[in-house]
Amino acid sequence: MKKHIGAYKTREFPASRITTADIGAVGLGKHHIKALIELDVTEARKRIAGRRKTERISFTAWLIKCISCAAQEFDQIHAIRRGKRNLVVFEDVDISIVVEREVDGVKVPLPYVIRKSNEKSISEIQTEIRGAQGQSISDAGDYVLGEKKSSHAMKFYYTMPGFLRRLIWFGILRNPFLVKENMGTVMITSIGMMGRINGWVIPVSIHPLCFAIGSIVKKPGVIEDRIEIREYLYVTALVDHDVVDGAPAARALSRLTKLVESGYGLT
């Protein structure tokens, strides 16, 4: 007889978390290079605050635009391997983000793919994110936000044994066109936007390129040989080492750093 359990409650496990668990299991097999980056966003934040007087844009939308431009310029960084001898390099940068929504009283993270983000303005990206956040939903298990999936197929997927579900994901990952169609080629998760985290978050991903966005913190920085209080953003980047070597990846991330720290697109 169990005497020391104490009080507890049982909650229904959201169907969308089953997919998250499967992706985590499959993602552990990816050969990602992990880069921990600090980005000085002081000037960018000032410019965004200035633009808000005439135009409503968010820091997240602007950061997505910067990442889109870097990925477009160094396109191999979000390429997908096809077989042993080929890489499929896409011209469009489709970025998957996570939008937290409430379903049946429970907050669950749901994916949303911003298609051709490299061709969209900061304002267009902002409008699209707002639309995803306001989308009406009834069952998180049936949706990728903005792109309704087959209800019957999804429900059947959730009833399958775990090893069969993961085999499906392995099959999808072997086909670059299925990957891009279902989840884009770049993943951004904004953990730091949900709470203050003074450090880096190390995500697990099945995307060829993934970013985990941490918090913005104030601390001393050196600007033209002067010590100033600056605002720094913690960013973790995951790059598929099967697709791109360390040197090209470093050049792409260096380009992203320049775009962010120069306040790209905000003048």
- For 150, which DSSP code? P
Residues 6+ apart with CB under 8 A from 36: 200, 234, 235, 236
Q: Which of 143, 66, 155 is nearest to 109 (CA)?
A: 143
CA distance 151 to 168: 17
pLDDT at 50: 87
* Mean predicted confidence (pLDDT) in 123-132: 91
Judged against a pLDDT cut of 60, whether residue 48 lies above it is answered with yes
Strand-pair category, 143-144 with 147-148: antiparallel
The whole-model pTM stands at 0.86
pLDDT at 254: 96
> Looking at per-residue confidence, does 147 or 114 come out higher?
114
> Looking at per-residue confidence, does 64 or 14 come out higher?
64
Tell me how crowded residue 144 is: count the other CB atoms within 10 A of its CB: 17
Q: Which domains does the chain have, with CATH numbers?
A: 15-261 (3.30.559.10)
CA distance 108 to 101: 6
pLDDT at 142: 45
pLDDT at 194: 57
**pLDDT tens-digit series, residues 184-214:** 999 999 865 555 677 888 889 999 999 999 9
> Looking at per-residue confidence, does 179 or 4 come out higher?
179
